[in-house]
Amino acid sequence: MANVKTLEDLFLDGVKDIYYAERKIVSALKKMIRGAQSQDLKAAFETHLQETEGQVERLVQVFELLGKPARGKTCPAIDGIVEEGQEILEEFKDSPALDAGLLAAAQAVEHYEISRYGTLRNWARELGKEDVAQLLEATLAEEEKTDELLTQLADAKVNKKGKTKAA
């Protein structure tokens, strides 16, 4: 009989995927901090960098609770989103719209993470892993808060600045 994959296998695969993604995001955020023009956006990215480093540690705890080594699995989705952010950094360098583009790229990351963490939390609950679900819920709440703060920053300042013509 073929090796039948279960929700447990799918769940572990998803945890490996988001672990890879979070580590990739740490690297991307460092580049975005250096590239951002607005001090407010730099500060938002710096805050999220610290949160993301904590989220990586939280995922290590998840692996420990699952009795598995903390090991990532290449995530083509996050690779593509991060690559788009890198293109914005290059193509809009010194442009008034750079920060709007970086913020949009950051929100694409947040939306991916919100989707992934919500699913993983639900699967953890379905599998009776409430301790794991609570860790994933904590990260989900941080991601939702970051997305909300980025939206406020976009609406209040960043998008307006992006409309101005370069001198």
Task: Report whether CATH 1.10.10.10 matches the domain 7-161.
Answer: no
| Per-domain residue ranges of the chain | 7-161
Confidence category of residue 44, pLDDT binned at 50, 70, 90: very high
Euclidean distance between CA atoms 39 and 30, whole angstroms: 14
Tell me what the pLDDT averaged over the chain comes to: 94
Q: What pLDDT shows up at residue 164?
A: 76
For residues 48 and 59, what is the distance between their CA atoms, to the nearest angstrom? Answer: 16
pLDDT of residue 162: 79
Q: What is the arithmetic mean of pLDDT over 120-126?
A: 98
User: Residues 71-85: what's their mean pLDDT?
Assistant: 96
CA 83 to CA 90: how far, in whole Å?
A: 11
The full DSSP string for 5-72 is: --HHHHHHHHHHHHHHHHHHHHHHHHHHHHH---HHHHHHHHHHHHHHHHHHHHHHHHHHHHT-----
pLDDT, position 20: 98
**Please, which pLDDT band fits residue 1 given cuts at 50, 70 and 90?**
low
